[in-house]
Amino acid sequence: MRFDEQQETPLFAALKKYVNDKTVSFHVPGHRGGRGIPEFCDFAGRNIMSIDVTSGILDLDTICNPTGVIHEAEELAAHAFGADHAHFLVNGTTSGIQAMILSVAGPGDEIIIPRNAHRSVVGALILSGVHPVYIKPVINEYMGIAIGITVESVRRALVEHPNAKAVFVINPTYYGVASDLKKIVEVAHSYGKPVIVDEAHGAHLKFHPDLPLSAMEAGADISATSMHKLGGSLTQSSILLVKSDYVDDRTVKAALNLTQTTSPSYPLMVSLDVARKQMALKGRQMLDETIKRCERTRRQLNSIEGIYVMGHDIEGTEGCFAYDPTKLAINLRELGLSGFETEKILKYKYHIQMELSDLYNVLAVGAIGDTDKNMNILINAIKDIAAKNRRKNVVKVPADIPDNQEMVVSPRFAFYSEKRVVLLEDAEGEISTEMLMAYPPGIPILCPGERITREVIDYVKALNSEGCHLQGTEDPEAKAIKVLADAQAVKYYERIKQVV
């Protein structure tokens, strides 16, 4: 990465010129720089409205086949992240994950995937017709969460499924846990398989040596990274990175053009341009402060009786090769509080909004925009909550995370099959045609094509009892679920699978 070139922001410069030239617009969008929607413009600001333009304007390039300033901005991003190619995403990392899977496999092919992958992966499986080979992640029993996968589990899956087209890895997980990605890449490449990476929570990794290795540093072939989460850009803006001897970038771009909009948001893209510059030039300094701030907060939280915040102490345990210290997963099980309950207390009593909650934890995401003042507000709130809940070793919700479910038919087959609706309570043994998850983090408890077990039903009941908002089913309360209409569908699936 050349620091002199990273000072450039070609897309941002072109948009500022377009505005400063006082160009008279007869193109969409129809708000004409905000004049057509004054109430919103007065709140959002004239500048942001003036750069909300459309793709294909002379000198502003087009996202579908960039050859001008978007292409220049993407090249700078590729250099900053250590990739050969970069593609701006305005449909979030979801569109990048879809493109990655569509790039490496087709209908009937297999991909090795951790079972705690995000819901966008399941959506990509439905779109592509790819069959997942699920790897069970390691479970941290005290935290009650799935963490990383092991090198051995990847190797075993490759031996058992020699025709699998690729290995999919999460780097890091929502909770900041990184698997040994470099060794996983080495193993996969030794079998001639590319590695594609969901790096939604790893946009910052490349820019500080005390963070886990980024996908590109570890030798992965493609990664989708959410710059908006931890890199400073606007929500929904992400980058797809490619550096591979196994996958042609032109194939990746063709797949991306299947799902990404032809009318991209220029404010989102220009925020990527500026955020990339900032991370390339100032990222280490900014992240140094962020890491120090988060570690100080972790120490103070861990000094509170009944509170545990995991960190580097779990590195080297099964499923955790490295840990991202900017994540503060605060465990409250010894206070007799669920994460869901704590999130509501923090929100409505202390006016603190956490990133997510689960049965035992609330998660605070440390970021470059944090301040010591805000961290102290969180510390004091947790101290106050702990002082009012001095019960020790109370496990309020004893439900365990369900094991991997039996995948009876592919997600695509389940999604398109004839269905019937049953109460979830009565669905034991049925085959789901819907996803079921807590969001965030968006990791499916149940995927389309999987058999519903009593273990899943009991776990969902435990989540409901704590006020968790479940998503994925057409029933907004997740009390009913769609399942395969009859057993004949399974027999039909087995017949067509043999033919394929």
Determine the pLDDT at residue 397. Answer: 56
Residue 403 is assigned to a structural domain of this protein: no
The whole domain housing 309 covers: 284-387
What is residue 415's three-state secondary structure?
helix
CA–CA distance, 183 with 173 (Å, rounded to integer): 17
Q: 135 - beta bridge partners?
A: 114
Q: What is the mean pLDDT of residues 188-205?
A: 98
Q: At residue 187, does pLDDT exceed 90?
A: yes
Q: At residue 499, does pLDDT exceed 60?
A: no
Residues 93 and 81 in one domain: yes
Whichever domain contains 303, its CATH number is 3.90.1150.150
CA–CA distance, 349 with 377 (Å, rounded to integer): 12
Residue 296 is assigned to a structural domain of this protein: yes
Residue 397 is assigned to a structural domain of this protein: no
Determine the pLDDT at residue 341. Answer: 92
Q: What is the mean pLDDT of residues 312-320?
A: 97
Higher pLDDT, 150 or 437: 150
Query: What is the biggest distance separating any 2 CA atoms in the chain, rounded to whole angstroms?
Result: 68
Residues 273 and 290 in one domain: no
Determine the pLDDT at residue 477. Answer: 85
Confidence of residue 394 (pLDDT cuts 50, 70, 90): low
Tens-place pLDDT, residues 442-496: 788 999 999 999 999 998 888 888 878 788 899 988 899 999 998 777 776 777 7
Q: At residue 497, does pLDDT exceed 80?
A: no
Determine the pLDDT at residue 393. Answer: 58
Confidence of residue 4 (pLDDT cuts 50, 70, 90): confident
Tens-place pLDDT, residues 93-127: 999 999 999 999 999 999 999 999 999 999 999 99
| Phi and psi, residue 390, nearest 5° | -90, 50
Determine the pLDDT at residue 396. Answer: 56
CB 435 within 8 A of CB 165: no
CB 397 within 8 A of CB 336: no
Six token digits for residue 376: 């102290």
Determine the pLDDT at residue 442. Answer: 72
DSSP state letters, 251-313: HHHHHHHHHS-SS--HHHHHHHHHHHHHHHHHHHHHHHHHHHHHHHHHHHHHTSTT-EE--GG
Residue 315 is assigned to a structural domain of this protein: yes
Residue 404 is assigned to a structural domain of this protein: no
Residues 339 and 442 in one domain: no
Tens-place pLDDT, residues 266-292: 999 999 999 999 999 999 999 999 999
Apex 205 CA angle, 165 and 185, nearest 5? 25
Q: How many C-beta neighbours within 10 Å does residue 434 have?
A: 21
Determine the pLDDT at residue 400. Answer: 62
The total number of structural domains that make up the chain: 3
Residues 293 and 266 in one domain: no
Q: At residue 398, does pLDDT exceed 60?
A: no
CA–CA distance, 372 with 346 (Å, rounded to integer): 18
Residues 344 and 428 in one domain: no
Tens-place pLDDT, residues 253-262: 999 999 899 9
Q: How many C-beta neighbours within 10 Å does residue 20 have?
A: 9
Residues 268 and 295 in one domain: no
Q: Which of 213, 128, 143 is nearest to 175 (CA)?
A: 143
Determine the pLDDT at residue 395. Answer: 58
Residues 325 and 421 in one domain: no
Domain end call among 280, 315, 336: 280
Residues 272 and 290 in one domain: no
Q: What is the mean pLDDT of residues 74-94?
A: 97
CA–CA distance, 291 with 265 (Å, rounded to integer): 32
What percent of the chain stands above pLDDT 70?
A: 97
Whichever domain contains 469, its CATH number is 3.90.100.10
The reply to whether omega before 212 is within 30° of 0 (cis) is no
Determine the pLDDT at residue 461. Answer: 87
Pick from 20-34, 161-175, 366-380: least confident? 20-34
Residues 343 and 424 in one domain: no
Residues 10 and 50 in one domain: yes
Q: Which of 312, 321, 396 is nearest to 144 (CA)?
A: 396
Determine the pLDDT at residue 399. Answer: 54
Q: At residue 157, does pLDDT exceed 90?
A: yes
Q: What is the mean pLDDT of residues 362-383?
A: 98
CB 328 within 8 A of CB 362: no
Residue 392 is assigned to a structural domain of this protein: no
CA–CA distance, 106 with 104 (Å, rounded to integer): 7
Average of per-residue pLDDT values in the chain? 93
Residues 316 and 187 in one domain: no
Determine the pLDDT at residue 149. Answer: 97
Residues 276 and 288 in one domain: no
Determine the pLDDT at residue 468. Answer: 83
Domain end call among 261, 280, 299: 280
Determine the pLDDT at residue 481. Answer: 96
Domain end call among 280, 300, 320: 280
Residue 314 is assigned to a structural domain of this protein: yes
Residue 323 is assigned to a structural domain of this protein: yes
Whichever domain contains 152, its CATH number is 3.40.640.10
Determine the pLDDT at residue 443. Answer: 84
3-state percent helix, strand, coil for the chain, nearest multiple of 5? 40, 15, 45
Q: How many C-beta neighbours within 10 Å does residue 420 have?
A: 11
